[in-house]
Amino acid sequence: MPRAIFVLALATLLAGCRTTRPAGEETPVAPLTSTSPADAARQLTARRAQLTGERSLLRIRATNGDRSQSFRAQLQIDNSNRMLLTAYTPLGTTAIRLYADASEVTFINDLEGTWWHGPAADFANSFGFFGTTSPYSMSLLIAGLPAEGPTYDYAAAGLSRANVGDVVVTYDPPSYPPKHVTIARGGQKLEIETLESAMTTATVAKPEPPNGYRCCVAPRL
């Protein structure tokens, strides 16, 4: 293939896979105006109740024992208990897509051309840092919002810590929107830096695996 044609084909492929913002109106996430932990708890509870949707750009470092990898990702959540986490390669192409609603999970591995669909409890067996909570609840915690189930510690500017069974979520510094979030469970750890946060009117759409992807391959970190 002539070099010019190859470059054009590659550019077209990458353009179709790069980070895209969901349709909908967006406004930057405003920090809390609270002056005490109790006031922060009240304001965050109200933000959670009024949530339409939120989108965050993240930088994530995932560690599992002596293995680690870093990547950028986009997290989308809406008020219908749906979330979508899209991880990207260094070129900006899609690496994995994790979608969840209230009870089920779809995991698409675009790097290996595989996908999996099943209950959230089965998904947690492969991704232990979710503990006993759902992917949607964990996505709320990543966004700095309280979810049902965990116990919390608050600071004047936002969450400082959340405990979900043996999973510990810490915020450094405590703030909303969060800047650095660490999710730890045993030898598994996610270190998350928030690069951008916006409230959005967009709903989360369930992704479909492309034709030719192999079904029923268990997800893994």
Whether residue 2 lies inside any domain: the answer is no
Residues whose CB falls within 8 Å of the CB of residue 202, separated by 6 or more in sequence, listed in order:
22, 23, 24, 53, 55, 76, 78
Whether residue 217 lies inside any domain: the answer is no
Whether residue 6 lies inside any domain: the answer is no
Whether residue 7 lies inside any domain: the answer is no
Lowest mean pLDDT, pick from 1-10, 31-40, 174-183? 1-10
Q: How many domains does the chain have?
A: 1
Percent of the chain with pLDDT over 90: 71
CA distance 75 to 90: 17
Percent of the chain with pLDDT over 70: 85
Whether residue 57 lies inside any domain: the answer is yes
Instruction: Identify the CATH number of the domain in which residue 117 sits.
Output: 2.50.20.10
Whether residue 210 lies inside any domain: the answer is no
How much is the pTM?
0.86
Whether residue 211 lies inside any domain: the answer is no
Tell me which residue range forms the domain holding 182: 23-205
What are the b/e assignments for 55-64, b being 16+ CB within 10 Å?
bbbbebebbb
Whether residue 123 lies inside any domain: the answer is yes
Structural contact between residues 21 and 55, judged by C-beta atoms closer than 8 angstroms: yes
Q: For residue 173, is the peptide bond before it cis, meaning its omega torsion is within 30 degrees of 0?
A: yes
Structural contact between residues 135 and 123, judged by C-beta atoms closer than 8 angstroms: yes
pLDDT in tens, 72-108: 999 999 999 999 999 999 999 999 999 999 789 999 9
